[in-house]
Amino acid sequence: MIAKVVVDVAVDREFDYRIPDSLREQVKLGSRVMISFGSRQTQGYVVGFANTSEHAELKLIDAVVGEKPYIDEKLLQLARWMGEYYCAPVELAVRAVLPGAVRRHKAAFKEQLFVERVGGDTGPRGKAPKQDAVLDALERQGGMFLAELVKASGVEAGTVRTLERKGFVRIAKRASLRDPLARHTILPSRPPELMPEQAEALRVVCDSIDRLVPPVVLLHGVTGSGKTEVYLRAIQHALQQDKGAVVLVPEISLTPQTIERFRSRFGGSIAVLHSHLSDGERHDEWHRIHDGEARIVIGARSAVFAPVRNLGLIVVDEEHENSYKQEEAPRYNARDVAVMRGHMQGCAVLLGSATPALESCHNARKGKYCLVSMRRRVDHRSMPSMQVVDMRLEAERTGRVSVFSRELVSAVRARLDRGEQVMLFLNRRGYATSLVCSKCGYVASCEHCSISLTYHRHEEALKCHVCGAGKRVPERCPGCADPQYKLTGIGTQRVEAAVGKIFSGARVARMDADTTTTKGSHDRILGDFRTGKIDILVGTQMIAKGLDFPNVTLIGVLNADTSLHMPDFRAGERTFQLLTQVAGRAGRGEVPGEVIIQTFTPFHAAVQAARRLDYEGFCDKEMEYRQELGYPPFGHLVCVAVKGVVRERVEAAVERFAEALRPLLPASVIPAGPAPAPLERAKGQYRFQLILRAPLTRTILDALKPALRNFRWPSGVSASVDVDALSVL
């Protein structure tokens, strides 16, 4: 017998090892094994078996590590598919499925003192109330960790030791799982009565869960329509059938508030997976899931691989979010992996969004997904009223580009007078987006990237938002030595400063990547906003999504154009989604909300559709344009990105590759490029891309894979493949 093994060191291959007779019984699919690899010993995973090998001399597997295989056959199948589809080495796909913390077998458990009731009758109670309290607690619970017991019964540890001496309890060390949620106290919540649209959506999802071949359900629900409540009930239904569930949310939405909503319904059967867990916590959570102790997993992207037993449902919240796409190999989209996993394991998949991705909308229109819509907000709350302000007119009137239009200023004033709250959204951090010399036209730009530097006021520094490099503001223009500079373009810092000037007395806070670098700062700002310590919250996309603040009645979008003019075919879709999501933060309480969108392109289709809150209308228009050009969702797109430090070498290499590829491409594949990427230089590397479009990914990969295999990139030049690329910048 021969085992196919992938090893932790990155080489895109499976290796054949002979299984010694002594290990026949133990080596299973997914087993972790010790092997000698080259001159050293290392660990690997068994991903398959064979009877013969093309290699004559095979090494033996040395040992099996651990008892249970870590990856079951189904997850392995998913990993293989992922490697194939996303054009990634199989061991990288296996690594994605199995978290590093689990793979590396990191120190897992913390030892703590555990107290159990032993021994016989304690005689009549009432003489020693403290000891009684301990015994009562233990008899109710069976056994408890000492720390817990002390907290629950309000007695000192000494009391417990006394009982140990008397032989009524036993205290011994026991492994305890770190619980990342232990700090939060959770109050149980009672589910609300469902609205009719929610009930109908739930019926469709439950029906899917109960089927042998469950259809994917796309839940299109406007902001505030109560999608989360539908998820909660659907999970409840899965649990009742003894099935588990996975809930994916964008990393940015994985806040304590979100987690508590799930925890308060399902308590300890929840495991949480997100990027801020320590290795130890991640390891523990993974094992709680693997051992069947946690039946529900809530997490970001990689939670799609959680080894939940008898998986019945995967929920993908905000399924249109870009953050579901992994930016390094394997460049998978967790939403699409969820759909594939559902298909392979016969589990239901629920995709939810107020602005479904065009791909999902297309699948629903084709009948591939089952669509349910929720068009109303819960409790008959109205959708916000939307107003678009033409900033060109404002500039004409005032003779300069201002941060706030007159409309927005008076709307903010009105809210402050009434004690209501305001959110101001701008997708640019920093103070000014560029520093320009008005004499010679010099623009401060990054030495490593083809992008201008952003001026940050507090640090008095110029920073690159691509590579993070920073430098001090020069005293004179490096171009003409003139001491005068102009700061152009508006960032959140500048908005915050302007708010302070115009609305003196108002309490302002800013939330962006610069103000949330320390642990807990994110939660603190939102907490202060929730409790009314802040009147106006200025922020980037960090405040655009998922937040639910009933007292926010006005949202100002300061510049709707920032995402519109990206050189990317999805720019319109992104802008529409962003505006709709931002608008969704307004009017979630009793008072109806108002949204003011400032823009220099007021008649752009995405802006207009957002103003009308018209998702279908936007899709109709956008679909037409995409179909005409053969862009997704009409067909698939694969981006081959080539980069290196020396521009000429990169360009020559990508040209040569394109030439080698061309004869292999069937007529149905439309190539574009090679051409410099819109962001031509990043982190010191020149970037070129070749974009391939075709009705089926298969058609592209069948030509691309052999071409890549046979091509040797010159040293200093590397290539990566992004299948279903979301960003082609």
Q: Which is nearer to ligand ADP, 42 or 253 (CB)?
A: 253
Per the CB < 8 A criterion, the answer to whether 574 and 563 are in contact is yes
- CA-closest candidate to residue 648, choices 673, 676, 672: 676
Residue 467 interacts, among Zn ion, ligand ADP, none and using kind-specific CB cut-offs from 5 to 8 Å, with Zn ion
What does the alpha-carbon distance between residue 678 and residue 254 come to, in Å, rounded to a whole number?
32
Choice between 5 and 350, CB closer to ligand ADP: 350
Residue 224 interacts, among Zn ion, ligand ADP, none and using kind-specific CB cut-offs from 5 to 8 Å, with ligand ADP
Binding ligand ADP (rule: CB under 6 A), the pick from 159, 223, 454, 492 is 223
117, 227, 282, 636: residue in contact with ligand ADP (rule CB under 6 A): 227
Residue closer to ligand ADP, measured from CB, 192 or 695: 192
Residues 327-386 that bind ligand ADP (CB under 6 A): 378-379
CB of 415 to ligand ADP, least distance (A): 21
684-719 in b/e form (b: 16+ CB < 10 A) is ebbbbbbbbbbeebebbbebbeebbeeeebeeebeb
Identify the CA nearest to 1 among candidates 65, 36, 46: 46
Q: Which does 195 bind (CB under 5 to 8 A by kind): ligand ADP, Zn ion, none?
A: ligand ADP
Interface with ligand ADP includes 659 (CB under 6 A)? no
**Beta carbon of residue 229, minimum distance to ligand ADP (angstroms, whole number):** 4
228 binds, among ligand ADP, Zn ion, none (CB under 5 to 8 A by kind): ligand ADP
Smallest distance from Zn ion to CB 684, Å? 8
DSSP 129-174: HHHHHHHHHHHHHSEEEHHHHHHHH---HHHHHHHHHTTSEEEEEE
Q: Are 705 and 489 in contact (CB under 8 A)?
A: no
Closest contact distance (angstroms) between CB of 547 and ligand ADP is 9
CB–CB of 543/585 below 8 Å? Answer: yes
Which window, 50-58, 84-92, 457-465, 500-508, contacts Zn ion (CB under 5 A)? 457-465
Among residues 10, 55, 46, 53, the alpha carbon closest in space to that of 26 is found at: 46
When asked if residue 320 is in the footprint of ligand ADP (CB under 6 A), the reply is no
Among the listed ranges 296-304, 330-338, 395-403, 458-466, the one in contact with Zn ion (CB under 5 A) is: 458-466
Our CB check for ligand ADP shows the closer of 223 and 599 to be: 223
Residue 449 touches which member of Zn ion, ligand ADP, none, C-beta under 5-8 Å by kind: Zn ion
From the list 174, 309, 448, 705, which residue makes contact with Zn ion (rule: CB under 5 A)?
448
* Cβ neighbour number for residue 211 with a 10 Å cutoff: 11
Q: Are 96 and 302 in contact (CB under 8 A)?
A: yes
Q: Which does 395 bind (CB under 5 to 8 A by kind): ligand ADP, Zn ion, none?
A: none
Among 82, 303, 391, 446, interactor with Zn ion by CB under 5 A: 446
Nearer to Zn ion, 452 or 562 (CB): 452
The answer to whether residues 247 and 297 touch, using CB atoms and an 8 Å cutoff, is yes
Q: How many CA atoms lie within 13 A of 321 on its CB side?
A: 26
Based on its alpha-carbon atoms, the radius of gyration of the chain, rounded to whole angstroms, reads 29
Question: Which residues have a Cβ under 8 Å from the Cβ of 22 and sit 6 or more positions away?
Answer: none
Q: How far is the CB of 468 from ligand ADP (least distance, A)?
A: 34
Contact 580, 613 (CB under 8 A): yes
Binder among 14, 91, 197, 229 for ligand ADP (CB under 6 A): 229
> How far apart are CB 361 and ligand ADP at their closest, in Å?
17
Q: Taking CB within 5 to 8 Å according to partner kind, which of ligand ADP, Zn ion, none is near residue 229?
A: ligand ADP
Q: Which CB, 242 or 379, lies closer to ligand ADP?
A: 379
Report the residue count for the chain: 729
Task: Kindly tell me which of 388 and 682 has the beta carbon lying closer to Zn ion.
Answer: 682
Record the tokens describing residue 49, joined without a space: 């078996």
The residue (of 227 and 237) whose beta carbon lies closer to ligand ADP is 227
Closer to ligand ADP by CB, 186 or 395: give it: 186
Residues 99-158 that bind ligand ADP (CB under 6 A): none
Binding mask 181-220 for ligand ADP (x = CB under 6 A): -----------xxxx--x----------------------
506 binds ligand ADP (CB under 6 A): no
Q: How far is the CB of 2 from Zn ion (least distance, A)?
A: 49
**Percent helix, strand and coil across the chain, each rounded to 5?**
35, 25, 40
User: Which of ligand ADP, Zn ion, none does residue 192 bind to, with CB < 5 to 8 Å depending on kind?
Assistant: ligand ADP
Contact by Cβ (8 Å): 585, 381 = no
- Return the beta strands (E) in 512-579 as ranges: 536-539, 552-557
Using CB under 6 A as the binding rule, whether residue 252 contacts ligand ADP is answered as no
Q: How far apart are CA 205 and CA 222, in angstroms?
A: 18
221 binds, options Zn ion, ligand ADP, none, Cβ within 5 to 8 A by partner type: ligand ADP
Do residues 336 and 316 touch, judged by C-beta distance below 8 A?
no
Nearest to residue 597, comparing CAs of 551, 640, 552, 562? 562
Task: Decide: is 467 part of the binding site for Zn ion (CB under 5 A).
Answer: yes
263 binds ligand ADP (CB under 6 A): no
What is the rounded distance in angstroms from the CA atom of residue 525 to the CA atom of residue 548?
14
Site for ligand ADP in 8-67 (CB under 6 A): none
Q: Choose among 382, 384, 402, 380: nearest CA to 393.
A: 402
- Applying CB under 6 A, the span of 227-235, 321-329, 657-665, 704-712 interacting with ligand ADP comes to 227-235
Preceding omega of 632 cis (within 30 degrees of 0) = no
Contacts of ligand ADP in 546-605 (CB under 6 A): 548
* CA 258 from centre of chain: 14
To ligand ADP, the closest distance from the beta carbon of 615 in angstroms equals 14
Give the 3-state secondary structure of 239-259: HHCCCEEEEECCHHHCCHHHH
Residue 192 CB, nearest approach to ligand ADP (Å): 4
156-194 residues labelled b (16+ CB within 10 A) or e (exposed): eeebbebbeeeebbebeebebbbebeeeeebeeeeeeeb
Residue nearer to Zn ion on the CB measure, 378 or 469? 469
Task: Identify residue 611 by its one-letter amino acid code.
Answer: R
Residues in the interface with Zn ion (CB under 5 A) total 7
**Which residue in 31, 225, 454, 575 binds ligand ADP (CB under 6 A)?**
225
Closest CA to 571 of 662, 678, 478, 667: 678
Task: Note whether 181 binds Zn ion by CB under 5 A.
Answer: no
Q: Of 350 and 436, which CB lies nearer to Zn ion in the complex structure?
A: 436
Stretch that binds Zn ion, among 23-31, 204-212, 264-272, 461-469 (CB under 5 A): 461-469
Nearest to 704 by CA among 682, 687, 680, 723: 723
680 binds Zn ion (CB under 5 A): no
Residues that bind Zn ion (CB under 5 A): 446, 448-449, 464, 466-467, 469
Residues that bind ligand ADP (CB under 6 A): 192-195, 198, 221, 223-229, 378-379, 548
